[in-house]
Structure 1
Amino acid sequence: MFTARQIERHQLRCVLQVFNRITGHSLGYLGNVSESGLMLLSELPVMVGPDFELQIRVPLKGGGHQFINLTASCVWCQEDETPGHYNSGFMLLQAPRDYDAFVHALQEFFTFRQVSASA
């Protein structure tokens, strides 16, 4: 049975698109991420239970994309506060070795740090 997540997640609203790896169709945007799961923001509800073949396309500086392929199971889906939008939680079943580095890079990039004042 699904229990509440124990790992802090970082908000990434509407920055990176998530695609169905098989069809290439966009499913929505990465909402938040952790080493063991992610939240998808979408305009359609996602079926809870089945496994999904996902792909995150990370833009590269020189052009093109890095493809991060994941297999994940949708464990919950609920309507967002914004009508016509949905949030879905996914538990990772299979991820590439460098997925943890991807998560840490996103957390580092989107984390605001306290700047200490010089005396």
Structure 2
Amino acid sequence: MKEFRRARRRSVPEPVAVLDTMTEQIIGRLGNVSESGMLLVASSPVVDDGLYQLRFHIHDSRGREIPIEVGAHVLWSAQANTPGQSFAGLRFLTIDPAPLAALREWVNAPGASTR
């Protein structure tokens, strides 16, 4: 199958919590991420076409934890096979330049599992 996404995505097999910064509650974890969006494995309901302020952390090449804050738009959601979970595709609307550069480097790092 040919891949038609515009941005390279990194699969995230280890748990990376995603926090809704408006409620300060964890709403799920990263499934995969690119510099322009993410797949959220949601443990809390998300609103279709909703807007969210989210934060998650990645580690840079030196092992330092880098917070990534984004404004995101829910493009789609679907129920998962696991009760209480769903999947949601989000497009990033806002992200500051420094975290964007760190995210871009992390997604494109050698050895990263990509899709």
TM-score range, shorter chain: 0.7 to 0.9
Unaligned runs of 5+ in 2: none
Does structure 1 residue 103 correspond to structure 2 residue 97? Answer: no
* Percent identical: 24
| 1:48 counterpart residue number | 48
Partner of 1:108: helix, strand, or coil?
Answer: coil
Structure 1 position 34, deviation (Å): 1.0
Once the two structures are superposed, the pairs formed by residues 27-46 of structure 1 within 5 Å of their partners are: 27-46=27-46
Q: RMSD between aligned alpha carbons?
A: 2.4
Instruction: Tell me, in whole angstroms, the C-alpha distance in 2 between the residues paired with 1:45 and 1:104.
Output: 30
Q: Quick one: higher RCO (CA 8 Å, sep 6+), 1 or 2?
A: 2
Instruction: Tell me, in whole angstroms, the C-alpha distance in 1 between the residues paired with 2:70 and 2:27.
Output: 13
Instruction: Tell me, in whole angstroms, the C-alpha distance in 1 between the residues paired with 2:31 and 2:88.
Output: 9
Aligned residues: 107
For residues 71-118 of structure 1, the C-alpha deviation after alignment (integer angstroms, 9 at most, x for no partner) is 010111111233332110111110011214323314426526xxxxxx
Unaligned runs of 5+ in 1: 113-119
For the 8 Å contact 2:35–2:107, the answer to whether it is kept is no
Amino acid at match of 1:104: E
TM-score normalised according to structure 1 size: 0.73
Amino acid at match of 1:16: V
For residues 51-84 of structure 1, the C-alpha deviation after alignment (integer angstroms, 9 at most, x for no partner) is 101111346857xx53221101011111123333
TM-score normalised according to structure 2 size: 0.75
Instruction: Tell me, in whole angstroms, the C-alpha distance in 1 between the residues paired with 2:111 and 2:79.
Output: 25
For the 8 Å contact 1:45–1:78, the answer to whether it is kept is no
Instruction: Tell me, in whole angstroms, the C-alpha distance in 2 between the residues paired with 1:66 and 1:111.
Output: 17
Once the two structures are superposed, the pairs formed by residues 1-119 of structure 1 within 5 Å of their partners are: 5-58=5-58, 61=63, 65-98=65-98, 99-108=100-109, 111=112
